[in-house]
Amino acid sequence: GGEIIRPIFEFPGGCRFHFLEPSGNEFAVWSKARV
């Protein structure tokens, strides 16, 4: 039930995306490799 608010983007050291979970908190998922 979350919503991606910033699509996957690369930065030095990996890539990540940001999402809002149903209560409105923002989280980011980070990885060294693009999946």
Model pLDDT for residues 1-35, shown as the tens digit of each residue: 999 999 999 999 999 999 999 999 999 999 998 66
Domain boundaries, the chain: 1-35
What is the predicted pLDDT for the residue at 24?
96
CA geometry: angle at 21 spanning 1 and 16, to 5°? 110
Cα 30 to Cα 20: distance, rounded to the nearest angstrom: 15
Cα 16 to Cα 34: distance, rounded to the nearest angstrom: 8
Cα 25 to Cα 19: distance, rounded to the nearest angstrom: 8
